[in-house]
Amino acid sequence: MLAIAVIHVFSPGALLRGRLRVLYYSYFMDIVLPFGLYLLLGLSAAQVRFLRGWRVKALLVIGVTSCAEVLQGLGVPLFGRTFDPRDFAMFAGGVLLAVVADRFLLERLPPLSPPAEE
């Protein structure tokens, strides 16, 4: 999430021109934020039992981001001001990337164990 915050603050999209700049500002964060939110929920999975399944985390993230988008469509500026129906696909893409990272990369890492007590 810190990396996402740094990307958001320093906005590398300002270096882009033309169509790439439009795509960056229109959709990049719509992919990255759900990705980060999914992984953030994964950190809580050890303490919150119902967050242990990837499907639950995916549905929560898609639900929250979609709710924010619908509210934008109704004129409520929550996490943005512009309604774009393509954002729903970007949210799903970000969650899909996070699920792939979670299931095929992170699950293969050895578990973090607490330090041994002496």
Residue 115 lies in a domain: no
Q: Is residue 6 part of a domain?
A: no
State the total domains in the chain: 1
Contact yes or no for 99/38 (Cβ under 8 A): yes
Q: Is the model's pLDDT at 112 over the cut of 70?
A: no
Domain extent for 78: 27-108
Predicted TM-score (pTM) of this structure = 0.80
pLDDT bracket for residue 45 (50, 70, 90): confident
**Residue 3, domain member (yes or no):** no
Residue 51 lies in a domain: yes
Task: State mean pLDDT over 39-47.
Answer: 87
Q: Is residue 13 part of a domain?
A: no
Residue 11 falls within a domain, yes or no?
no
For residue 110, the model assigns a pLDDT of 74
The answer as to whether 2 is a domain residue is no
Nearest Cα neighbor of 97 from 110, 89, 78, 44 is: 89
Q: What mean pLDDT do residues 112-116 have?
A: 57
